């Protein structure tokens, strides 16, 4: 898809992943890479001196194989297993700030609710930071909304 040219850039393209991924895989194979699909890295192997000397790979059936390697590149995305396994340092974490922005965006409910939701947002941000996942915050949000809804129902009836 061609995008309007701006700022000295002649054109932009937004290829679908089905197109882009194939191009990348074909290019990697062309320069000698062995590409294996359906394999997940599950462990890294350390030598006594702390250097990584191998990885354990798991296939869809759950069977594991360990292979030796000189170098491991953790190009496995946002929830990188490699980064977690090597305790990689976090450079930027936006959970708390986005939680507070989430609260501020509830200004239409009045400033009291805005402050309450900003505090909730910050707490969910801390939870996401500690658990390295948004899931506990999402579950807490759903639980809080459900409990508040049930309480309001009974308060309205009484
Ligand atoms: C809905 C959406 C729309 C987006 N739109 C844009 C956009 O328009 N423009 C833009 O620039 N960016 C966009 N992004 C962001 C962009 O997709 C990411 O920044 C980019 O894909 C990150 O690339 P990556 O190679 O680091 O990780 P990924 O593309 O996530 O690749 C990581 C790969 O590692 C694999 N992997 C993960 N764990 C393991 C494991 N344990 N073992 C083996 N393999 C593993 C995954 O299967 C995946 O193939 C968008 C993201 C989303 C979710």
Q: Which residues line ligand 1 (CB under 6 A)?
A: 14, 40-41, 75-77, 81
Distance CA 129, CA 132 (A): 5
The rounded Å distance from CA 74 to ligand 1 centre is 12
> CA neighbours within 13 Å on the CB side: how many for 76?
14
83 pLDDT above the threshold of 60: yes
Question: Which ligand 1 atom is the nearest neighbour of the CA of 40?
Answer: 42
Q: What is the pLDDT of residues 64-75, one digit of tens each?
A: 999 999 999 999
Residue 126: the pLDDT is 83
110 pLDDT above the threshold of 70: yes
The Cα angle at residue 81 between residues 87 and 79, in degrees rounded to 5: 100
Q: How far is CA 23 from CA 17, 20, 28, 45, 90, in A?
A: 9, 5, 9, 31, 31
The rounded Å distance from CA 126 to ligand 1 centre is 24
Q: H or E stretch including 150?
A: helix 135-157
Instruction: With beta carbons less than 8 A apart as the criterion, state whether 90 and 123 touch.
Output: no
The rounded Å distance from CA 90 to ligand 1 centre is 18
2 pLDDT above the threshold of 70: no
pTM tops 0.85: no
Q: What is the pLDDT of residues 25-61, one digit of tens each?
A: 999 999 999 999 999 999 999 999 999 999 999 999 9
The rounded Å distance from CA 64 to ligand 1 centre is 24
Of all protein residues, the one whose alpha carbon is nearest to atom 28 of ligand 1 is 77
Q: How far is CA 88 from CA 42, 52, 55, in A?
A: 16, 13, 16
């Amino acid at each position: 898809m061609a995008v309007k040219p701006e700022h000295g850039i002649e054109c932009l393209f937004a290829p679908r992943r089905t197109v882009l991924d194939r191009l990348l895989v074909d290019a990697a194979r062309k320069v000698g890479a062995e590409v294996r699909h359906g394999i997940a890295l599950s462990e890294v192997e350390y030598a006594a001196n702390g250097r990584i000397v191998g990885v354990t790979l798991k296939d869809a059936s759950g069977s594991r194989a360990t292979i030796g390697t000189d170098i491991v590149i953790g190009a496995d995305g946002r929830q990188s297993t490699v980064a977690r396994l090597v305790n990689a340092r976090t450079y930027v974490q936006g959970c708390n700030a986005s939680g507070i922005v989430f609260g501020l965006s509830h200004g239409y409910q009045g400033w009291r609710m805005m402050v309450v939701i900003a505090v909730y947002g910050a707490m969910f941000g801390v939870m996401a930071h500690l658990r390295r996942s948004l899931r506990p915050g999402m579950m807490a949000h759903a639980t809080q909304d459900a409990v508040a809804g049930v309480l309001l129902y009974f308060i309205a009836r009484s």
